[in-house]
Chains A and B, each alone.
Chain A
């Protein structure tokens, strides 16, 4: 459904763009406010890995390494406000404070053999971490055209303040690199907040396009954000606030988080003049 909506907006934008070549967008020293929202795909980069269960020569050959899911499998969402101010006709600054939920998952598997009964005991787990917080990106945006349909790139910095983090473990007893969340057993949702550092900062870069109508504008953009700060609190890594450490042999690696978002924004110009019209007849 979401894909269809995006496609519709794209087609609409292009068609309008083709029909409106005679208009330029008057953007200089204009301020826009609006709303923004969309989805994101989270990911984690391991800086240091940690284990509760220590391998010995008598350990299973089943790897105890955590296997992190790829970017596309960790979904989240965000919604917030949009502010921009255009210094020139092509260059503007954008501030998009938003409330963001993001996630990252990893899998672990363990196996023990029952030498008496000739059967194995296996445990495969999918660890799901959901994080929420406030994202404050401040970006410089460069529009490639003055026209109604305007592609742009943007880049800048962001700050993120974590508000809450939760963790759930899904598990089954077959090691097949697949834990079906629909059928697998699962733990309760545990509070992970104290295991994570509250603040993060990093770089953001993205691209998109805007369709400017007479009284509003719509943007579709995608941004990649990479946080520079290691997010797991080293001091209480083993404090086991979730209660999962020994029971599920889980301790978090040291991580840096990144995500890729796709979001739709609707903006309205703020102008002191009588008319809010932002389109001007092209002189060329």
Chain B
């Protein structure tokens, strides 16, 4: 009996001493939601990019309407630091700009409505003002083509959509162009920048040949996709159905071919490979595309280039009407759908950004509505195996 008691004691002590918890370990696949105790704070993630030191990711989000928060997370999605920008910096445009390995953001002055460019100082967990452009009001999009950086804006005084190419050090505007809207859209712009209602899918892109700049903005009484020449003069446009239709997302393929998503009222349409004429004046609804009735047209659509098993794909990320995410992967050569995956259950999730990770997985930045009303920043990581399973 004594031996038995010793045996039980030994076993019990072994369990007890080994019962101390260890830290979480990295995972290939995970869901993380970043907490904030303030129940009245609503976050709208705007974009993510790799950290300057390549040891994680920088996430930019809007909160309390148009205020700006930066957050750094590590490669496993664990929180590192966050920084709420001073209240004069508001309305960050979606996405972060990586220039020479450093991350920048474009935002607006809360009073003057003009544009700032801020550099993210990851070491000090803050930002540094690089430049401001007092004549560029209401910035709506920014884009780094690899050769030039562009800022799109709405000029409330002249009712124009403007586009500006910056100098290499981003201290000055080298070239500007604009198109006439012919009507006041400031109420729509204000609702957009304050997150009061649906967001407007502004964007700027360039063709791989750098022969055209493409921007999505207001033009000629409508929400339109506008082709611009390298000198930012008007080349052509695909006009939306007034303000109720147009392009949701665009990814140039080269040789005047594009992968795009377009919306018309509450319907969303995909075409992963369509030829467009940059000098045409046409309507966006004439672009052939496959409708997908389960998708929510008012939510962001992202089109990204990814590589799975050393093969290049176009991936579409969108939100469904049933509050899931839909990842659709297309072969860019044929335009054929090679696989899709639904993410999320029961809780509203909105797609915000998508990037491929170094380990060939996918990081999907989302807005998650937890406990029914708390909009929080979320990150869904798909492992390499899960990404491969989509196209198998």
A-side residues, CB < 8 A to B, are: 45-60, 64, 110-116, 120-121, 123, 144, 151, 153, 155, 203, 205, 207, 224, 226, 234-240, 243, 245-247, 249, 251, 258
Complex interface: stretch among B24-32, B143-151, B309-317? B24-32
Within 8 Å by CB of A238, from B4, B29, B37, B71, lies: B29
B11 touches A226 (CB 8 A): yes
B27–A56 touching, CB < 8 Å: no
Given contacts A112-B39, A114-B40, list 7 more A-B pairs with CB under 8 A: A48-B21, A59-B37, A64-B35, A112-B37, A112-B371, A153-B7, A243-B345
A121 to B373, CA, bound (A): 11
- Contacting pair A144 B1 (CB below 8 A): yes
The answer to whether B349 has its CB under 8 Å from any CB of chain A is: yes
Neighbour of A52 across the interface among B8, B32, B38, B371, CB < 8 A: B32
Chain B 5-29: CB-based contact to A (< 8 A → 1; otherwise 0): 0011001100100110111110101
Whether A247 touches B39, Cβ cut-off 8 Å, given contacts A51-B24, A54-B32, is no
Closest to B32 in A: A54
B347 with A246: CB separation less than 8 A:
yes
Known: A48-B22, A112-B374. A240 touches B345 (CB 8 A): yes
Identify which of A48, A51, A113, A246 contacts B344 (C-beta below 8 A).
A246
Asked if B347 and A247 sit within 8 Å, CB to CB, the answer is yes
> Is there contact, CB below 8 Å, between A115 and B11?
no
Query: What chain B residues lie within 8 Å of A237 (beta carbons)?
Result: 27, 29-30
Which residue of chain B lies nearest to A245 when distances are taken between CB atoms in the complex?
A: B31
Chain B residues proximal to chain A, CB less than 8 Å: 1, 3-4, 7-8, 11-12, 15, 18-19, 21-25, 27, 29-40, 71, 77-79, 82, 344-347, 349, 368, 370-371, 374, 378, 385
A250 vs chain B, min Cβ distance (A): 11
Q: Which residues of A contact B19 (CB under 8 A)?
A: 45-46
Nearest residue (CB) in B for A237 is B27
B37 touches A58 (CB 8 A): yes
Residue of B19, B21, B37 ringed by the most chain A CB atoms within 10 A: B37
CB of B31 within 8 A of CB of A205, answer no
A240 to B347, CA, bound (A): 12
- Asked if A56 and B35 sit within 8 Å, CB to CB, the answer is yes
CB pair A251–B31 under 8 Å, yes or no, is yes
Nearest CB on A from B361, distance (A): 12
Contacts of A240 in B (CB 8 A): 31, 345
17 pairs, A vs B, C-beta closer than 8 Å: A45-B15, A46-B19, A50-B27, A52-B33, A53-B33, A56-B34, A113-B39, A121-B371, A151-B1, A153-B4, A205-B11, A240-B31, A243-B345, A246-B33, A246-B346, A246-B368, A251-B31
CB of B21 within 8 A of CB of A46, answer yes
A112 and B375 CA atoms in complex are apart in Å by 12
Cα distance A63–B174 when bound, in Å? 53
Q: A121-B371, A238-B29, A246-B345 are in contact. Are A153 and B40 (CB under 8 A)?
A: no
Q: How distant is A226 from chain B, measured CB to nearest CB, in Å?
A: 6
- Asked whether B38 lies within 8 Å of A115 as measured between CB atoms, the reply is yes
Most chain B CB within 10 A, of A52, A224, A246, A258, is at A246
Pair B40/A258 contact, Cβ less than 8 Å = no
The residue of chain A having its C-beta at the shortest distance from the C-beta of B18 within the complex is A45
Q: Would you call A153 and B1 a contact (CB within 8 A)?
A: yes
In the complex formed, the residue of A with least CB distance to B7 is: A205
Interface pair A59/B35, CB less than 8 Å apart: yes
A253 → B minimal CB distance (Å): 8
CB proximity of B41 to chain A, nearest CB, Å = 8
**Chain B residue with Cβ nearest A112:** B39
Contact residue among B3, B34, B368 (Cβ-Cβ distance under 8 Å from A153) = B3
